[in-house]
Amino acid sequence: MYQPLTSNSVALLVIDIQERLMSAIANRDEVVRNASLLLRLAGIQQIPKLVTTQYRRGIGEIVPAVDELIGAGEPRYDKTQFSCLANPEAGRALADLGRKRLILTGVEAHICVYQTALACRNDGYDVTVVADGVGSRTAENKALGLERLRELGCEIAPAEMVIYELLGEAGTPDFKKLLPFLKG
């Protein structure tokens, strides 16, 4: 039986939303907006997060709109591996979060998001991939990546579905804090 996503059962993985890489992503504005919404909700509901960059020296920093929501003291794990779990520091940090349900957002859907989700599934994690919170350089690569992720047993859901599932109901303090950003 499916158990709804709850703030005390999930962790958020934000994968490689970097300036130079995002300039080539087909749906970059949508990815940045939805990753930002997820990070805002994580802050409101105290959902733990893991943030990665791919070869920061060559690809650049995280886009400012996303980076400002991560928090100054939060680590950003730089990697050269495509799977976040293949990076020893990031893999340990994820395990230390103690959550077996993950929400993934970032790029590229068919490379780093896919390989991270594959490793997570193989390590016993339940994975929800935010369909409009991931991107690739081409729409075809994104579509094929999402198709393959579904075949691996990942849940594929739009950002609003994930967000409203975590919120649970209207009128709560958490809902009221996030509502102005959902309308935008």
**Is-cis flag, bond preceding 147, omega within 30?**
no
Output the pLDDT for position 143.
98
Would you give the DSSP letter of residue 62? B
Over residues 55-92, the pLDDT tens digits come to 999 999 999 999 999 988 899 999 999 999 999 999 99
Output the pLDDT for position 2.
80
**For residues 77, 3, 6 and 70, what is the CA-based torsion angle, rounded to 10 degrees?**
20
CA–CA distance, 149 with 119 (Å, rounded to integer): 11
Output the pLDDT for position 1.
78
CA–CA distance, 51 with 106 (Å, rounded to integer): 10
Question: What is the set of domains in the chain, with CATH numbers?
Answer: 10-170 (3.40.50.850)
Over residues 22-58, the pLDDT tens digits come to 999 999 999 999 999 999 999 999 999 999 999 999 9
- Terminal alpha carbon distance of the chain: 35
CA–CA distance, 92 with 72 (Å, rounded to integer): 21
Over residues 121-170, the pLDDT tens digits come to 999 999 999 999 999 999 999 999 999 999 999 999 999 999 999 999 99
Residues recognised as catalytic: 16, 79, 112
Is the separation of the CB atoms in 84 and 94 below 8 Å? yes
